[in-house]
Structure 1
Amino acid sequence: MALMITDECINCDVCEPECPNEAIFLGPEIYQIDPHKCTECVGHFDEPQCVQVCPVACIPLNPEHLESNETLWQKYRRLTAEAGKS
């Protein structure tokens, strides 16, 4: 499952640099998470780093992008392979 940032976001800027997949970006009003890049930190950390640092707890699972742990691992492997080609 990818994560999402809700409208409770206060744009504090602490989540974006914590994302190992560079999935977090500043949208028109608040930070957003690209579900195609979010692995919930699978392959990097035991817990999603953005959730750990968020002071307002506005980063839940995205119900529109439900993924199994194996799918998250596959995404991690794809993203790291693409990064290696750059």
Structure 2
Amino acid sequence: MAAKGKDLSQQLEELISSLQEQGILTDYFDDIKELQDEINPRFVDEIITIFLRVAEDYRAELTRNLSEPDVNYPEVNKLAIRFKSSSTR
């Protein structure tokens, strides 16, 4: 069983390295990962879950605004900027 766990850990590290090389994950991911410890081992999972929930809210709001017959582009721009900034904190 320990061998499988090691394989999964190695696969995860390889995936993270690949995503960083592609620019999908930045140094911010490493910063967040360092905050994860024995007291809160699911910290990264929780942060990602919160981000995905917020991202879905922004996506739905953008879709709703863009579906209006008379699109309010300043509002769409404001939402897009908020959405983008929420992913770079």
Same fold, TM exceeding 0.5?
no
Higher normalized contact order (CA 8 Å, seq sep 6+, divided by chain length):
1
TM-score normalised by structure 1 residue count: 0.30
TM-score normalised by structure 2 residue count: 0.29
Larger radius of gyration: 2
**More helix by percentage:** 2
